[in-house]
Structure 1
């Protein structure tokens, strides 16, 4: 999420790779990003074909992230392609890591109860609940009120931030308790190694939380722009 870039499987048409990498100027690529994002959103808003909706929701799953990334990943977060990119990446993360996310939700939900109500997730969601919520948020963006879908996405990120921060605090407390306990030479070496591993894990969690916090802010700003008809 945020500024990070996902791994990109080799599923993009080589001709398109050559065209994009071979000299399409940034302005033209930006125009293409905005045009494709607006066209995709408009088409789904005006269709009643469930197969079209299904294909759009699973665009990244079926086609790979390459084409979407080339078109949208560099778009500004206050633009329609930039926001759609974040929505698709949120769904990808929620679907892929549903088990760890459901655990984090149980940790973060008591801290961010208002956010959980907005996101529309139970207090103790199962892995399947997380996957259904991922589809619900993305389908809501295309089929329902776009701003509401963005607010739900932002609220979901808020609970994840609370979960990550709380878990990092717990781990740090346990690490501090272990460091203050007396130990022999051999066990001290093991404890030092384990402490290094735990500190690295805590740092990753806090970094991820910061990225999600910014993403949540991007979603909320996008919702405000959409309501003013200024998200393009």
Structure 2
């Protein structure tokens, strides 16, 4: 009949549809290619947003430094070491000079500076503790016959050192309270800070003394 289509017409229609761009039937396990190579994992990680947080432990810091050494050339590592050494030397020199920005937290502040000046302006008996204690230790082993007398002398010396430290701590607290009445830095902490500096030999103190012995503070 005129309104019915023959089998040949149906085949021509299917062929025309396929030629027009209809996707052929694919197998269930088929995956179409992306048309570009798969990026490497390290390249993908470099493009990620935030940077990794700072290391929380020493082991993690060592691991990161090791990774940096592996990625840097020999010349770059040498240059980095030179810069770090120069920076450490500069910080040490400025800290010894007493520059406030480079001091440790325990040394910062006008009260702590004033306490250091008081200690450094005195001739402290406690400053002889380290060398004299070494002499006593040598005498104990070198003169076993007189070890009892040496031990007694050492005990007397230690008592005198403790008395000197207590006196310096109280002196510093008293004068700091007069000079800085509104400061909260005082009491045992300030006294201990002054006493610990008194025990150090003058040439080994950090920061270095800014006043001479006998100078008015």
TM-score for both structures, normalised by structure 2: 0.27
Task: Return the index of the structure with the highest Cα Rg.
Answer: 2
